[in-house]
Amino acid sequence: MFSARDSVEVDADVESVFAFLDDPHNHAAVTPRLEDVRDVERLPNGGKRLAYTYRMVGLGIDGEIVQTAHEPNERMTFELRGRLTGTIDLTFEPAADATELTYAAEYDLPENALTALGEPVVRRFNERQVRATLDAVADRFANDAE
């Protein structure tokens, strides 16, 4: 199991950041290597179930994401199913005129990816992916403010 956790301050109110990330297609816009989001279905808890394609080690990895927690303006939790398994937890905290967005993830990777790259490389890759995603969200709102 690999884990990565990081935070960023987003120059927008919690409601706006939550609404942006509540649309699965926006995840594809800000998550490096997330190539496709499709078959989005709304769940009774307010969350979504969807299929995705993620590119890793030159391969397209298909899977399913189920949003297990959908707490408006506070938290989203996703369960990854398929060749990539794990959880992603997003929390939203008011911070002055901004939002503190925290991304915490735990992943189990396909054995061939771990074997090909080695554990230290995979760990750094995951940390960079989380940071890049958070920066992309912050940049999206910074650009909207200009």
75 touches 90 (CB < 8 A): yes
Token output for 135:
């920066």
Q: What is the pLDDT of residues 48-75, one digit of tens each?
A: 999 999 877 677 788 999 999 999 999 9
Would you list the domain boundaries of the chain? 2-145
Question: Residue-wise over 57-89: b if at least 16 C-beta within 10 A, else e?
Answer: eeeebeeebbbebbeebeebbbbbeebbebebb
Which has more pLDDT, 56 or 76? 76
Extract the runs of DSSP E, i.e. beta strands, from 20-97. 34-42, 48-56, 59-71, 75-82, 85-95
**Does residue 97 register a pLDDT over 80?**
yes
Q: 2-145: which CATH topology? A: Alpha-D-Glucose-1,6-Bisphosphate; Chain A, domain 4 (3.30.530)
Rounded CA separation 87/79 (Å): 5
Q: Lowest mean pLDDT of 86-90, 103-107, 114-118, name the range.
A: 114-118
Which has more pLDDT, 145 or 100? 100
Maximum C-alpha span of the chain: 45
